[in-house]
Amino acid sequence: MGFELPKIPTPPHVPEDLVRPFPFIFGMATEQNPFTELADSVHRGPAIFYTPHAYPGGTPAWIVRRAEDLRAIYFDTEHFSSKDFSPFPKLIGENWSSLPAETDPPMHRLYRAFVNPLFTPKAMAKLEDQIRTYARGYIDDIKTRGECEFMKDFAFEFPIRVFMDLMGLPHDRMAEFLEWEMGLLHNHDLAGIAAATRKVVDYLDAEIEDRRANPRDDLITYGVEAEVDGRKLTRDELIGFTFNLFIGGLDTVSTHMGLHFWHLATHPEDQARLRADPALISDAIEELMRAYPAVTTFRTCVKQVEVGGVTMMPGDKIAMCTTLAGRDPEEYGDPAVVRFDRKPRTISFGYGPHLCVGMHLARREMRIAMEEFLAAVPSFRIKDGAAIQFHLGMIQPVELPLVWQA
């Protein structure tokens, strides 16, 4: 390894006894169980603490582990801003914000109203058959092999197919898309992330221009033709909108699929229950989303505020770690136990005005993938001798080798 995290002095408003290490360090990988070993250990400490290295690049952040405190922060747009928490535009010298994710009131409300109709439950129900066709395509390819690397053979590509249909992008560029996604979201080298960002933005620029001349029934055209606040969107807003969709809905679905199937592969009795009664799958996915949430976003404090007895000052970053929220023992009894009948209220998709706009689509994709895989592939387990490693940052299995009797 051999890199040293920079030593950051603690600001005066942060009590020294609240400065603690945090086991989730962006860009590292672990063989420990990120949930039962890492997340659950954090819940044995203070409700809110300060850690020097939580934010990508090695900057400090407050860690808030209780679901109740996170809900309050998610809702409080007066004291906490969502502005620009990801590095992408700055890496290529541009200035747009992912939209609506990285915008604040008053424009956030208008941007969100513009995006919402695209992702309502009814709108996503229309995609059911096509999503199932894609899932079957991947599963048909793997079911007779008796083994697969679940991430590479199914989970990474499957959500991209659906996304490409929505955006009106050609499927013959799938491999390129996947490469860009990896470059953006699976890269620790800033120059590499910048290069991937440049490629994606150039591509989106070209597609946006094309839709101006040749409108179609897709999301890019919807953006080009929409009026927000009584006017058309600017180029920066269109890039922000399409880029947000790009990073929002691909890797996140893949990673949760990977985590859910890792659970099923290591819990044969749960796998058998769902195979025997597929009607349980919807509830199972809700509980798996509760138990294995992967995403951490950030907020920036913009106005002094007290949360749980802790003073936060403007400029402070706050890690909104869904991985911790789903395992909060004050919120969920026995959080380490996965119970398909728990029917939890989760904040794995966030909470408040920025709640994941794609959640109905994500749930549909995950449900269909599980329905089809369990129907086509017999009882599967982790390949013998394989130790599953997880990326940290967004919690993702590095590889998930599964085997079964084909």
Partner 1 sequence: MPKIVFLQPDGDRRELDLQSGDSLMRGALEHDVIGILAECGGAAACATCQVIVAEEWRDRLPEPDISEASMLDEDDGPGRRLSCQVIVTDELDGLTVEVPLSQH
Q: Which residues bind partner 1 (CB under 8 A)?
A: 71, 74-75, 109-110, 112-114, 116-117, 120-123, 345, 349, 351-355, 357, 359-360, 363
Q: Smaller CB distance to partner 1: residue 318 or 357? A: 357
- Answer yes or no: are the C-beta atoms of 212 and 232 closer than 8 Å: no
List the beta bridge partners of residue 165: none
What is the token pair recorded at 304?
């002094």
Q: Smaller CB distance to partner 1: residue 65 or 354? A: 354
Minimum distance, C-beta of residue 352 to partner 1, in the bound complex (Å) = 5
Q: Smaller CB distance to partner 1: residue 216 or 345? A: 345
Q: Smaller CB distance to partner 1: residue 110 or 382? A: 110
- Answer yes or no: are the C-beta atoms of 70 and 325 closer than 8 Å: yes
How far apart CA 313 and CA 34 sit, in angstroms, is 30
Minimum distance, C-beta of residue 166 to partner 1, in the bound complex (Å) = 17
* Burial readout 335-347 (b: 16 or more C-beta within 10 A, e: otherwise): beebbbebebebb
How far apart CA 367 and CA 118 sit, in angstroms, is 20
Q: Smaller CB distance to partner 1: residue 320 or 357? A: 357
Amino acid at 346: T
Q: Smaller CB distance to partner 1: residue 228 or 250? A: 228
Amino acid at 219: L
Sign of CA dihedral 333, 334, 338, 341: negative
How far apart CA 124 and CA 161 sit, in angstroms, is 14
Minimum distance, C-beta of residue 47 to partner 1, in the bound complex (Å) = 20
Burial degree of 134 (CB within 10 A; 0-12, 13-18, 19+)? buried
Q: Smaller CB distance to partner 1: residue 82 or 197? A: 82
Q: Smaller CB distance to partner 1: residue 54 or 101? A: 101
Minimum distance, C-beta of residue 378 to partner 1, in the bound complex (Å) = 30
Minimum distance, C-beta of residue 147 to partner 1, in the bound complex (Å) = 34
How far apart CA 298 and CA 131 sit, in angstroms, is 31
What is the token pair recorded at 279?
């009607």
Minimum distance, C-beta of residue 114 to partner 1, in the bound complex (Å) = 7
Ramachandran category for residue 146: left, alpha or beta (phi over 0 → left; psi -120 to 50 → alpha): left
List the beta bridge partners of residue 307: 310
Minimum distance, C-beta of residue 105 to partner 1, in the bound complex (Å) = 11
Minimum distance, C-beta of residue 364 to partner 1, in the bound complex (Å) = 9
